[in-house]
Chains A and B, each alone.
Chain A
């Protein structure tokens, strides 16, 4: 099972002292956090993509290329890549290029983006969100899998005799996850292609998340990719830890109370009861995360949101140390001990290359 971090990349004032990082400081902080993830033994770092303030990550492959050069093992991913407003041709090129630079340590998570005004800045309309995700992704798959593409659709200029370069590393396209909180069409899309499905999980009650994942698993089996419990599931999580849980609650409360998304709404206690947010000791985080497996089945990837709501970099790095040193080693062991042998790991470049090689050997034989 893979464990890692995903970052929204928000620039949020620290509510305890009003400090606001500059964009430069925030971008460099994201670099430090990604490097820290590798240092403490995490497997994945995923960056958000946004094209509006207060967010900095508008250029994910620039960022991930830089991280690739400074890491050895970390899988570089996105949370999410905007399949609606980005040109699928540019996604195909950028991420194939990144694959080469990172020697295959790349996958992506597709998402639609939920900010209406962003769409027209890129010539699109949020009301076409699902249709854009469907058409653009269908084209993206072809660009990575067919050397020469003739294509015509509703949302971009037709292509004639187009070759997306560079070709994917070793002829193996990056693995793709599809992220959605509540659109059954996206769970259906992930299932249809046998891709991964990621639920951000952190803002919603377990019951909602479970319905999306059950739908994805059922349809994954329906489309013949394997049994429902072999479908590739990723989940978000949101934690704040201190040795004593009371200290964690006291320190995190002002960040919670003023956080973007849920701030000024439910109390910290209500929100931790209703959603997977866990504020407490490392052991509480371990216990809570183990319940995800009970709710959603054995899954392949767990990403935690650590750097948000104006938390200072120093605090975030302390959190990642605890995550890597105290939480994840236990989760790895406990999840593995419960996992049946027929449940696969998340695909990697190496596993996809091996699968492609054995498939073509089968054809030759």
Chain B
């Protein structure tokens, strides 16, 4: 199998961002198991693009490139801060402009950060159903990082173990699949005789 591609979306707003830090650790753990390139996308940098896309109906150039990369990726790592018991509005805005079908049968690793461990189930009651709706293949282990998880930094704490387990599941799902084929409706239009049919 040729080299795989991952897109690593982070909706963290701070700079530096703990959400981005978690995203990077998930990407690194995946790449230890899989020959893959990873493109990091900080949604903060695309925030204006996302609003403009929603208002005009077309994505600005750089956002379009990112959406295209997601559609072509072998796997998606999606990491959001938890705001008011769910994914952030910025994160959802990105999901809302994904072209229809972009995530069908695509392995997705979901993760989140929050101010307290009491928010950890947002991954299960908000993130997982969202991606289920999009018919993505969400791996069983989701990863939540609370402030206390960062205390040990690179130590072999519970967070590191969860990252490794999630990355292992994610890599297996990617390896089981061929790379996605993105159909371009402008290449092969439906012949008019069929439309008339």
List chain A positions with a Cβ less than 8 A from chain B: 130-131, 134, 138, 184-185, 187-189, 191-192, 203-205, 208, 211-212, 214-215, 219, 223, 261-266, 270-271, 274
Interface string of B158-192 (1 = CB under 8 A from A): 00000000000000000000000000011001111
Q: Does B25 belong to the interface (CB within 8 Å)?
A: no
Interface string of B11-28 (1 = CB under 8 A from A): 000000000000000000
Question: Nearest Cβ distance between residue B121 and chain A, in whole angstroms?
Answer: 36
A-B residue pairs in contact (CB < 8 Å), sample of 11: A131-B195, A185-B190, A188-B190, A188-B195, A191-B192, A205-B61, A208-B58, A215-B189, A223-B192, A263-B55, A266-B56
State whether A274 touches B61 (Cβ < 8 A). Answer: yes
* Interfacial chain B residues near A191, Cβ < 8 Å: 192
Chain B stretch 18-60: residues in CB contact (< 8 A) with chain A:
51-52, 54-58, 60
* Interfacial chain B residues near A138, Cβ < 8 Å: 196
State whether B56 touches A192 (Cβ < 8 A). Answer: no
* Interfacial chain B residues near A204, Cβ < 8 Å: 57-58
Number of interface residues of B (CB under 8 A): 17
Interface string of B74-94 (1 = CB under 8 A from A): 000000000000000000000
Interface of A is mostly: helix
Indicate whether A212 sits within 8 Å of B56 (C-beta atoms), given known contacts A189-B192, A189-B195.
no
State whether B56 touches A262 (Cβ < 8 A). Answer: yes
List 4 other contacts, CB 8 Å, given A131-B195, A184-B185, A265-B56. Answer: A191-B192, A208-B58, A265-B54, A270-B60
State whether A134 touches B195 (Cβ < 8 A). Answer: yes
* Interfacial chain B residues near A265, Cβ < 8 Å: 51-52, 54-56
State whether B60 touches A215 (Cβ < 8 A). Answer: no
Chain B: which residue is nearest A190 at the CB level?
Answer: B192
State whether A192 touches B52 (Cβ < 8 A). Answer: no
List chain B positions with a Cβ less than 8 A from chain A: 51-52, 54-58, 60-61, 185-186, 189-192, 195-196
Indicate whether A188 sits within 8 Å of B189 (C-beta atoms), given known contacts A266-B60, A274-B60.
yes
Separation of A59 and B189 alpha carbons in the complex (Å): 34
State whether A188 touches B191 (Cβ < 8 A). Answer: yes
State whether B189 touches A219 (Cβ < 8 A). Answer: yes
* Interfacial chain B residues near A205, Cβ < 8 Å: 58, 61
State whether A134 touches B191 (Cβ < 8 A). Answer: no
Separation of A212 and B57 alpha carbons in the complex (Å): 16
With beta carbons under 8 angstroms apart, the residue of A184, A203, A215 that contacts B57 is A203
Question: Nearest Cβ distance between residue B182 and chain A, in whole angstroms?
Answer: 14
State whether A184 touches B52 (Cβ < 8 A). Answer: no
Name which of A191, A204, A274 has the most chain B CB atoms within 10 A of its CB.
A274
With beta carbons under 8 angstroms apart, the residue of B52, B189, B190, B191 that contacts A266 is B52
Separation of A266 and B61 alpha carbons in the complex (Å): 13
Separation of A263 and B52 alpha carbons in the complex (Å): 10
With beta carbons under 8 angstroms apart, the residue of B51, B55, B186, B192 that contacts A192 is B192
* Interfacial chain A residues near B52, Cβ < 8 Å: 265-266, 270
Indicate whether A184 sits within 8 Å of B55 (C-beta atoms), given known contacts A134-B195, A189-B192.
no
